[in-house]
Structure 1
Amino acid sequence: MSTPVRVLLVDDQQLVRSGFRLILSVEDDMEVVGEAADGAAAVARARALRPDVVLMDVQMPGTDGIEATRQLVAEGLGPVVMLTTFDRDDYLFDALDAGATGFLLKNSDPDALVAAVRAAASGHALLAPEVTLRVIERMTTAAPADDPARLPPPELARLTDREREVLLLLGQGLSNAEIAERLVLGEATVKTYVSGCLAKLHLRDRVRAVVWVHQHHLLPAEEDGTGRVPPSG
């Protein structure tokens, strides 16, 4: 039997933590190892417990979730799945800058919570579909066709043709399985290509890859900004 994913819950509301604990405790491959009610306590608990995943609220008294995430990432104390609200873009992008590897809306269903924790524990970044769209909308600007921002970045030359294909599909928010189906490749092969893209472009995870693709306007107009964006994972 594999070792369960060890999760630290961080939220200033006891009722919320209890709800998350209940959802995760019924999963055979997960174990809630601790709780914290603010960011400072979260960092201390993470240092002591070394969880596999930290499920982090944003707005808390004292040290908030953004600053706590920044400290956790800097110390390598586990990937952080950030709980965010749909109408606070500032929280979302501050959390992205701080190094969170997952973003989940607080009104997401239990299956999404479980999937986000599993993805983070497996080393994958995961965005709720609505959050992916917000990231793309924020990072995409209406630059003229002759604007230097529209020119292909020189870093693209580091990638093979297949890696570029994978990168553009990744930029649309497709999962590894969806990319594999689109390109008629094995999922393990796609994972290798994704890892190659991230390494060559010096990007920490697929969330940053999505942002990078849209910052450099690499997608056709109908796929850029407010187009269809499947969930990543």
Structure 2
Amino acid sequence: MMSSTNEEDPFLQVQQDVLSQISSIRPLFASYLRIRSLASSSTSPELTSARAELETALSSLSEDLADLVASVQAIESNPSQFGISDHEASRRKRLVQEVGAEIQDMREELNKNVAGGGGGNNDLPDPSSFAIGEGDGGDAYNEFEQQQQMEIMQEQDRHLDGVFHTVGNLRRQADDMGRELEEQNEMLEVVDDLADRVGSRLQTGMAKLHVGSISTAQDDAG
């Protein structure tokens, strides 16, 4: 858990974006390594495209990480002045160190495929410039990622609960409509039965009237 409780902290907002970017870049990096291992030439169009996409993503990530690094450097000497605990300050140092090291590793792999050993534009400070003690409480970066995953899973569970609730309501409504249709069908059957009986009586009455009119006519003729 993070020590800072300031939800409006710009560091935390940029941090979320950085972690999202690094999660998206990892599969790009893995794809680049796979394509490079299969490519017959460093000028392969597929390899060139994968490299360009990875470099663009790393460049954008480096810019955001540079903002985090500047923030860490600003509070490093006196975190409490900014309302940040020592533990949170250490976590932030570890975060930028680990993300910076991961970016550096990716850039080194990219440099292996560049003629003359040229590299990408890397304005980040050396990740090892942040001295972090061994007593900081474990890998805070991995802990934060696990926390983010747990929150995503909990959000999905809440959505599923809402779906189940909606489905239950629809099912109850369907049951009610089914019962109403059955009752209406029974009423229609009763009406049909009454109509049949009334029709039968009308036919009988009409027949009697017809017979009576014939008898009257015969009597008048006689």
TM-score range, shorter chain: under 0.3
Q: Which has the larger radius of gyration?
A: 2
Considering Cα pairs closer than 8 Å and 6+ residues apart, tell me whether 1 or 2 has the greater RCO: 2
TM-score by length of 2: 0.23
